[in-house]
Chains A and B, each alone.
Chain A
Amino acid sequence: EPEVTQTPSHQVTQMGQEVILRCVPISNHLYFYWYRQILGQKVEFLVSFYNNEISEKSEIFDDQFSVERPDGSNFTLKIRSTKLEDSAMYFCASREQGELFFGEGSRLTVL
């Protein structure tokens, strides 16, 4: 069964460092998303991406965040200068029609 894959599964970084989280969406899907979940809290929408551009972003997705689809398969989330409060699970998701499918997540720990 096709699935969304994410790397790395866990990344530890120092505050102020740049982090890139990578995702390979399901191959025939056209819509891509990043969500995050701080430990013990809700899954929160960050950004949606379609046709090589951001279609919507939340107030969380400030200038420190960016997304890119550098080639035909990868979809990346970059955090330019990480803060302690960026520590969370980051989930990539993709959809073709109605249903959203999530990757296994990348756990980001900012020290």
Chain B
Amino acid sequence: QKEVEQNSGPLSVPEGAIASLNCTYSDRGSQSFFWYRQYSGKSPELIMSIYSNGDKEDGRFTAQLNKASQYVSLLIRDSQPSDSATYLCAVNGEDSSYKLIFGSGTRLLVRP
């Protein structure tokens, strides 16, 4: 059974700080990794995708992948109150169907 684990939080950070969100996954063959943001009652919104080890930056967001440790993280720099949401880590396996396995999400609260 493939698993994706996240700390449920809430993670509370002050406005302007760096928020660090972490995710581990069980399937060593996983190839594709995604971070989604989900506001309460809304659908998941894709923030970042990462496919190879290392860092990938997009604006205030940096995704980090370490396949040896089966670990993915998301850093949010200069956190804003509008970043307050649940962040979902999703992982795809080796097959081509793109059945994403989601973690339960980490709730982020950015205090003004």
In chain A, what residue has the closest Cβ to B105? Answer: A42
- For chain B, the count of residues having a C-beta within 8 Å of the partner chain is 22
CB-CB under 8 A from B105, the residues of chain A are 42
B46 & A100 in contact (Cβ 8 Å cutoff)? yes
Per-residue CB contact flags for chain A residues 81-111 toward chain B (1 = under 8 Å, else 0) read 0000000010100010011111111000000
B99 & A56 in contact (Cβ 8 Å cutoff)? yes
CB-CB under 8 A from A104, the residues of chain B are 42-43
A-side interface mostly:
strand
CB-CB under 8 A from A42, the residues of chain B are 102-105
B99 & A48 in contact (Cβ 8 Å cutoff)? yes
B-side interface mostly:
loop
B44 & A31 in contact (Cβ 8 Å cutoff)? no
Among B36, B98, B100, the most chain A Cβ lie within 10 Å of the Cβ of B98
In chain B, what residue has the closest Cβ to A55? Answer: B97
Chain B, range 76-90, C-beta contacts under 8 Å to A: 88, 90
Partner of A95, one of B43, B98, B102: B98
State A103–B45 Cα separation when bound (angstroms): 9
In chain A, what residue has the closest Cβ to B51? Answer: A98
- Name B's A-contacting residues (CB within 8 A): 32, 34, 36, 42-46, 49, 51, 88, 90, 95, 97-105
